[in-house]
Structure 1
Amino acid sequence: MVEAEDVTAAEWTEDDDWTDEALAVLRALRAPHRRNRFKQIAFALYCTVLILVIWGGIPSFGLFLHASLGADYTGHGPDLLAAMPSGIAAVGLATVLLAVRDGLWRGPVVPPRATTDWLLAHPVRPRPVLRPWFWLSCGLAAFPGLVIAVGGMVALGLTVRVGLPAALGWCLLGGLCLPLLGVCAGLLVQSSPRAARWVRRLTPYATLLVLALATQSALAVAGHPVRWLEKVELWSGPWGWAGLAALAPTPAAVPGGAFAAALLVVSTVAALVLADRAAGTLALPLLRERARTAAGVLAALRTVELRAAKLTVAGASGNGRQVRVRLPAPRQRWLILYWRDALSLLRTPARLGRAVLLTVPAVLCAVLAHDTGGVVSWAVTVVALAFDYLAVAQLLEPARIETDDVRRASWSPYPFASLMLRHAVVPTVLGLVLAAAGSAAALALGGGPAAWLALIAVPPLVAAGLVNACRGAARRDLLYRPQPAGGTGLAFFAAWYAAGPAVAVPVLALPFSAALRSGSAGSLPQSSAIALTVALVLLQWAQGRAGKLPAQARPGAVGQL
């Protein structure tokens, strides 16, 4: 197929080039659609700006008004300046990482399927067709950077008393250049299989580095900065140059900030020029594949099939690759299920790695909850439990695969509901191992008996994940359920979709927050009793949900969901 297209392209001559005429005809034919599309985009932009003004602009104006009347926010200035070097490097590196990961399955140049399947198959030059899509991706990426730059201006103006024009100008350098560099890097990954292989190989290490930078930023706020390491990070690449630029108008400015800003601008301009030239050279088979993948993900999102969208992205980006691992087969038949679950997780080490990585911020948030009080401690405990849940949810993939198609369970001698309960054993054991490691690290750093709360939290969080795994087909009817105050039923759908953690996390946060604040061993029995009760209730709920799945999967039952 590819060879035939290459031969056809080689036979085209300048006399066959109808690019300008074809694009002119298409512009005329699509004028009504373009006007309607422009109205939709303008309305979406209006709503976005309105939300930003209501939730960001008006409160910021109120804070500046209070500051003009004598309110002092400079007490937060030292903490902000301490967090900026490593924090900006972490955000910048995460931005570039997300952009290159996007290039693995979609990329910045993805025209619609009609363009790839029909228009580009004709004798037209691809460059005039593809360049607008690249620059559209650049504009979409620059908008969040602009919002973040304005937020940085407000924060610096309130806490450090930096002039607003200077703060905005220096923050804009990183807020605009880093997303644009990410788009260019995503185009490189989209066009180069070799670059894509390197991205897949280096993603775990880059993720670890982002977490390490975020941890270092938190330690700097707590009064434990490492100045020499911060200087290395600030000069390590564009993600650090953005931090140097943002620090330039502040009292914590690092020498060479103007030079770093110039490097950032020059590298961004050079990358945009090279990417603009490369945008028109993408292979047509690649564009077709990416257009189909993007269309499939969009269709799954429109029908609220979030797992289908996630699996499509994972398959296209190579996240579903398995490693050849062998485990000795068990001699007892009742161990076969646990052997299959353990083997499935070992063959996808990315899930185990994500579980380990998500455990780290959970432990850090628990330490922070120990040092705070009141509502803040409860809120931080909720965040810690949310990270804990996401960690154990990575280990429940075998259960989710089982519920994707209940016919897979035909091999099992157990009823489906009983089978799903058995799928919780391996995640619980692995979760306890991770929690024990986190508790040991907390105890080594001087944590009290409350560090063992990590072990207590595992069973109810695994049960919450099992409730989510057994939710069945998407209940799109909930989106249209009327509410007393009007509007759509988005809240109903969200409550159904995340029912397990929505129940477990807030309920566990109350006793766990109290135990973390007290730090004594006397609060552990009460927390354990509550956690055990929550786990039993959620397991009963999951069993009830799982028992309905085989009936729902029968022909004619889908329409009743």
Structure 2
Amino acid sequence: MSGADLAAVEPLDEPAEDIPAEWTADDDWTDETLALLREMRAPHRRRRAGQIGYALYCVLLVLVVWGAIPSLGMFIQASMGTDYTAHGPALLAAMPSGIAAVGLATVLLLVRDGLWRGPVVPPRATADWLLAHPVRPHPVLRPWFWLSCALVLFPGLVTACGGMVALGLTARVPLPAALGWCLAGGACLPLLATCAGLLVERSDRAARWVRRLTPYATVLVVALGTQSALAAAGHRVGWLERLELWSGPWGWAGIAALAPTRAAVPGAWVAAGLLVVPTVACLVLADRAAASVPLHRLRERARAAAGVLAALRTVELRAARLAVTEASGGSRRLRVRLPVPRRPWLVVPWRDALALLRSPARLGRAVVLTVPALLCGVLAHGLRGIPSLAATAAALVLGYLAIAQLLEPARVETDDIRRASWSPYPVSGLMLRHAVVPTLLGVLLGLACSLVLLLSGGAATVWLAPAVVPALVGAGLVNACRGASRQDLMYSPKQGAGGGTGPAVFAAWYAAGPAVAVLVLTVPFATALRGTAPAQVGIAVLWALVLAAGLLRWAWGRARALPGQARPAGG
């Protein structure tokens, strides 16, 4: 019989015996599996509950000692005649744009959290093993979404309590009314942002939009914060504040917080409804959508979260930040080319400039952080005493953070010292050459700040901005050359049961460069900002230049002590 005859006789639609049957409801063992896992994990859950309870106890203790007791003391003083209402007008003027800035920053942070972690983050064992079995994902993933909601709700409640205290003391608002209206934004806004983070976690398109809009949102947050500071100083723009308050949930929270005060905006109940109703609806929809996150994405997020947590446990903050950046999709890189220099000593500055041009986000962050640093300097100019010192220190810290964005090429070289093998210079000399481009760019930013202050009627103090840049660059290089993390500094056999100075010693080692810069420059810079004599400005500039030389020498010595540093050929 031929093959055609056999094909005609034998049935072609006979089911293959090796194809497994489709999973049906009769095969659903989800409840039994979860019950078994709960029983097996009971000892671990009890230990974990003890750890969480202790952490919660510590947090509540800090809030009571540093928040509740001082607030109660101020209320007692107010009942005995102390007047805090002098700060009320400035607070009410700063609230519209200030609350909008804080609210938009909260939304931005929680939405960007969905790029690398997300509200639904089960442990690696759950993502790698349990969800690969025929179990319903909703009972497994739903608790993790609500855990994220609880975690973001707690800071919102603390913020609402802080707003209640501030309004009660400065505006004499009844505490129940102040707390109720502040809770509308403090509770609803984080929950709305968490639901938006779940959308970003599920959708690649939403994630692309978040990455694209992040720079503009960041600039808007800084602009709103700047407007809040100007409004507190007496420069208000009423129509712009109304536009911001009605622009979205971040503004509706401000309308609700202002409702019990004399600066109330019409439509407070509408704003509260716009916060509460969409929040409830989004939570219902998010509860149903929590189970629809793809399994491969859950596995990626679980691995990323585990890596970041491991870095934080070993106090490797840079490793944690790099892990978050990589898991978030990284920053946008441009394909920019610069002419190759003909002189060898220009190669390192050329590479640094090219690296910064190809990562425009770093340049943008440096510019954005310069704005609040400038505002803090202007604020220190009009203050006296401790507030002036605090504002000056804040300006120096923000200035350092701005300059630190430009020092990434140096940090990349010291992350793995083998990367410096391309250079004919030792690492110590290479680090000093990495200071050229950040110093030039920082001085340009400082000169731009000086120009703005000169146009606004500033005096000789405007030249403090570019003068402080070399010292901040030196501080950044000291930190870049600190080497491997020294966790041993946190623990010592001499420490008793009550603890010791280990964490403080580790913090001093970790942030040695900027800490020294801020401590040394705060007093002379605050004195120069308070006064008008050019001699005081000259003394402050001299302090900054001497400190810059000392910090660069310190960075050079630290770089020489790095293990396995590259040496020049034949050296």
Aligned equivalent of 1:525, options 511, 531, 538 = 538
Instruction: Determine if contact 2:426/2:566 at 8 Å carries over to the other structure.
Output: no
Looking at structure 2, the residues matched to 309 and 161 of structure 1 have their Cα atoms a distance apart, in angstroms, of 44
Work out which of the residue numbers 123, 136, 140 in structure 2 matches 1:112. 123
Please tell me whether residue 398 in structure 1 is matched to residue 401 in structure 2. Answer: no
Q: 1:448–1:520: 8 Å Cα contact kept in structure 2?
A: no
Task: State how 1:142-153 maps to structure 2 within 5 Å.
Answer: 142-153=153-164
Identify the match of residue 121 of structure 1 among 116, 129, 132.
132
Aligned residue runs from structure 1 range 378-527, under 5 A: 378-481=389-492, 482=494, 486-487=499-500, 489-527=502-540
Aligned to 1:33: 44
Q: Go from structure 1 to structure 2 and tell me whether the alpha carbon gap of 1:222 and 1:131 turns closer, same or farther (over 3 Å shift).
A: same
CA apart distance, 1:44: 1.3
Distance 1:231 1:200 in 2: 28
Aligned counterparts of 1:459 and 1:11: Cα–Cα separation in 2 = 69
* Residues 193-237 of structure 1, C-alpha deviations (whole Å, 9 max, x = no match): 111111111111101111111111111111111111111111111
Among 205, 230, 236, the residue aligned to 2:241: 230
Cα displacement string for residues 452-489 of structure 1 (whole angstroms, at most 9, x for unaligned residues): 10011000110000000000000011010346984350
SS of 1:435's equivalent in the other structure is: helix
Where does 1:27-426 land on structure 2 (aligned, <5 Å)?
27-426=38-437
Flag the 1:72–1:10 CA change in 2: closer, same or farther, 3 A. Answer: farther
* Aligned partners of 1:370 and 1:519 also within 8 Å: no
**Unpaired stretches in structure 2, ≥5 consecutive residues:** 1-18
Query: What secondary structure sits across from 2:247 in the alignment?
Result: coil
Contact 1:369 1:377 in 2 (8 A): yes
Give the match for residue 3 of structure 1: none
Of stretches 27-36 and 495-504 in structure 1, the one that deviates more from structure 2 is 27-36
Distance 2:229 2:75 in 1: 27
Q: Alignment partner of 1:322: what SS?
A: coil
Residues 390/9 of structure 1: CA separation in 2 closer, same or farther (3 Å cut): farther
- Please tell me whether the aligned partners of residues 432 and 556 of structure 2 are also in contact (alpha carbons under 8 angstroms): yes
Point out where structure 1 has 5 or more consecutive residues left out of the alignment.
1-7, 555-561
Shift of 1:48: 1.1
Counting only pairs closer than 5 Å after superposition, residues 17-32 of structure 1 correspond to structure 2 as 17-32=28-43
Aligned to 1:331, the other structure's residue is in SS state coil
Is 1:544 the equivalent of 2:564? no
The Cα of 1:28 is off from its aligned counterpart by 1.2
Query: Separation in 1 of the partners of 2:501 and 2:316?
Result: 18
Worse overlay, 31-40 or 535-544? 31-40
Deviation of 1:142 after TM superposition, in Å, equals 0.4
Secondary structure of residue in 1 paired with 2:121: coil
Structure with bigger gyration radius: 2
Q: CA RMSD in A?
A: 1.6
**How far apart, in 2, do the equivalents of 1:221 and 1:51 lie?**
29
Name the aligned partner's letter for residue 451 of structure 1: V
Deviation track 1:389-437 (CA, whole Å, cap 9, x = no partner) reads 0011100000000001111111111111111111111110111111111
Determine the C-alpha separation between the residues in 1 that align with 2:251 and 2:332. 32
Q: How far apart, CA to CA, are the structure 1 residues paired with 2:393 and 2:20?
A: 58
Judge which range, 33-42 or 257-266, deviates more: 33-42
The one-character-per-residue Cα deviations of 1:327-372 (angstroms, maximum 9, x if unpaired) are 1111112211111111001110000000000000111111111111
**Shift in alpha-carbon separation, 1:9–1:119, aligned structure 2, 3 A:** farther
Q: What corresponds to 2:10 in structure 1?
A: none
Whole-Å separation in 1 of the counterparts to 2:538 and 2:85? 43
Change (3 A) 1:553 1:474: farther
Secondary structure of residue in 2 paired with 1:116:
helix
Shift in Å, 1:275: 1.0
CA–CA distance in structure 2, aligned partners of residues 47 and 553 of structure 1: 46
Deviations 1:166-200 (Å, cap 9, x if unpaired)?
11111111110011011111111111111111111
The one-letter amino acid paired with 1:418 is G
1:413 counterpart letter in structure 2 = P
Tell me by how many angstroms 1:511 deviates.
Answer: 1.2
SS in 2 for 1:312: helix
1:273-314 per-position Cα deviation (integer Å, ceiling 9, x unaligned): 111111010000000000000000001111111111110001
Q: Report the Cα offset of residue 10 of structure 1.
A: 9.7
Distance 1:526 1:152 in 2: 42
Which amino acid in structure 1 is aligned with residue 507 of structure 2?
A: A
- In the other structure, the counterpart of 2:12 is none
Alpha-carbon separation, structure 1, partners of 2:423 and 2:144: 50
| 1:524 alignment partner, SS class | helix
Letter in 1 for 2:426: P
TM-score (norm 2): 0.94
State the identity %.
71
Counterparts in 2 of 1:461 and 1:9: CA distance versus 1, 3 Å: farther
SS at match of 1:550: coil
Residues 160 and 186 of structure 2 are in contact (CA less than 8 Å); yes or no, is this contact kept in structure 1?
A: yes
Q: Aligned partners of 1:130, 1:220: CA distance in 2, in Å? A: 45
> How far does residue 553 in structure 1 lie from its aligned partner after superposition?
9.7
Deviations 1:252-288 (A, max 9, x none): 1111001110111011111111111110100000000
Asked whether the equivalents of residues 459 and 535 of structure 1 are also in contact (C-alpha less than 8 Å), the reply is: yes
Q: Distance in 2 between matches of 1:45 and 1:414?
A: 51
Is contact 2:417-2:565 (8 Å) kept?
A: no
1:9–1:123 Cα contact (<8 Å) kept: no
